[in-house]
Amino acid sequence: MPEQPVSDVTIYHNPRCAKSRQTLELLRARGIEPAIVEYLKTPPTAGELAAVVEKLGVGPRDVLRGKEAAEAGIAGLEGEALLEALAANPAALERPIVVRGDRARIGRPP
């Protein structure tokens, strides 16, 4: 069996989200086959989220989807408590997030 290419790009992806699908298509059109993390099926840990937030250069609130956070009852949380809550409620995580090396970007717009 041939080896799968190893990618240094990871996308936190929701296949039901149009922006996430568009971002994935854009990466592939540029010849990049990213590692795909379907974060609703395999949620990142609070530690993984902390690393992503650091690479984004933002705070945890900046990766929060307002409506989903309110529905999950986590909109008022901050810092580590918010990261823990996002790990437990991944639908409240902004999407898509693309990570490459020590940098990351939110794919809105793609």
- What structural domains and CATH numbers belong to the chain? 11-106 (3.40.30.10)
Q: How many other β-carbons are positioned within 10 Å of the β-carbon of residue 16?
A: 10
Q: What are the helix and strand counts (H, E) for the chain?
A: 4, 4
Q: What is the pLDDT of residues 52-75, one digit of tens each?
A: 999 999 999 999 999 999 999 999
Catalytic, out of 17, 58, 75, 91: 17
* Structure confidence by residue, pLDDT tens digits, 22-55: 999 999 999 999 999 999 999 999 999 999 999 9
Average pLDDT score over the chain: 94
Q: What is residue 6's predicted lDDT score, i.e. its pLDDT?
A: 52
Which residues make Cβ contacts (< 8 Å) with residue 69, sequence separation at least 6? 75, 89, 92
Active site residue 17: yes
Place of tokens 């994935």: 24
